Amino acid sequence: MSTIDSRFGGSVPAIYQRYLVPLIFQPYAADLAARVSLRGPARILEIAAGTGVVTRALSSALGPSASITASDLNQAMLDEAAAQGPLPSVEWRQADALHLPFPDASFDAVVCQFGVMFFPDKATAFSEAYRVLRPGGFYIFNVWDEIRENEFADTITGALKVVFPDDPPGFLARTPHGYHDLQNIRGDLIKGGFQKPAGFQTVAARSVADSPRGPAIAYCQGTPLRNELEARGPGRLQEVTDVAAGALERRFGAGRVDGKIQAHIVSVDR
């Protein structure tokens, strides 16, 4: 995975928050927060918090008595998260998942929504999560299923192959949807030190928008896919976004669009 895949800068965080969060992240944030709240942890570390959709869901579900440290590699994403308004008992912290700046055994739970796929060394990132968890704590995260199970992303990826036939952008399939094999995940968790059996659950949901343009903007302009598009076609971002919107319209219609999304939920005790 190139470092370009984890670069969220410029206007990407604001577009991500406006378009992508309600499109695909909100339902899984509520799901993850509900699962965490059943265990009632007092000290939570969130990794790859992005613009804080899970952070806000956790804060609401757990209340002010829980302490949440919400971290992300990209300070621009944390700045956008903080701009959404203050949250009780939440600290925003820039941190690299492969080198967490926290003491051993300092958290009851480590939570990560759709961030594991971006870690260049999954086993090392898992070992860091293991290290900062107290004995008896737990790690819970989700990852997207393969791209064919996520209809908007799959449709846009197909459309981009037509625009750039000689070098089609592969970000969506390569990174967000590139870490879906449960056996690989289980193996990396074991390499990272988690010896207890991990639990896996596949959860499907619906991705809904008022028109095809919303998802096209979300994926083409609000993710690191934008980096690939601008590198291949300088000055063509709007044109390519229009092509993606057209492909979505042909598949889902010109009005309200509704597509399948699917992810795996993974949990494991320390």
**Short-list 97, 93, 94, 106, CA closest to 132:** 106
Confidence at residue 99, expressed as pLDDT on a 0 to 100 scale? 98
What percent of the chain stands above pLDDT 90?
Answer: 94
Supply the mean pLDDT for the chain: 96
Confidence at residue 3, expressed as pLDDT on a 0 to 100 scale? 60
Supply φ then ψ for residue 140, to 5 degrees: -135, 135
SS3 82: helix
Confidence at residue 2, expressed as pLDDT on a 0 to 100 scale? 52
Residues 6+ away with beta carbon under 8 Å from 269: 136, 137, 138, 139, 194, 196
Confidence at residue 241, expressed as pLDDT on a 0 to 100 scale? 98
Task: Give me the count of residues in the chain.
Answer: 270
Residues 6+ away with beta carbon under 8 Å from 123: 188, 191, 192
In whole angstroms, give the CA distance from residue 12 to residue 19.
10
In whole angstroms, give the CA distance from residue 88 to residue 56.
10
pTM of the prediction? 0.95
Query: What is 136-189 written as a DSSP string?
Result: EEEEEEEEE--GGGSHHHHHHHHHHHHHSTTS---HHHHTTTS---HHHHHHHH
What percent of the chain stands above pLDDT 70?
Answer: 97
Could you report the per-residue pLDDT of 87-108, keeping only the tens digit for each?
989 999 999 999 999 999 999 9
- For residues 43 and 249, the answer to whether their CB atoms sit within 8 Å is no
Residue 211, pLDDT above cutoff 80: yes
Q: How do beta strands 67-72 and 90-94 pair?
A: parallel
Domain boundaries, the chain: 3-269
Could you report the per-residue pLDDT of 74-84, keeping only the tens digit for each?
999 999 999 99
Could you report the per-residue pLDDT of 140-195, keeping only the tens digit for each?
999 999 999 999 999 999 999 999 999 999 999 999 999 999 999 999 999 999 99
Topology at the third CATH level for domain 3-269:
Rossmann fold (3.40.50)
- Would you give the end-to-end CA distance of the chain in angstroms? 28
Give residue for tokens 């300092």: 106
Residue 244, pLDDT above cutoff 60: yes
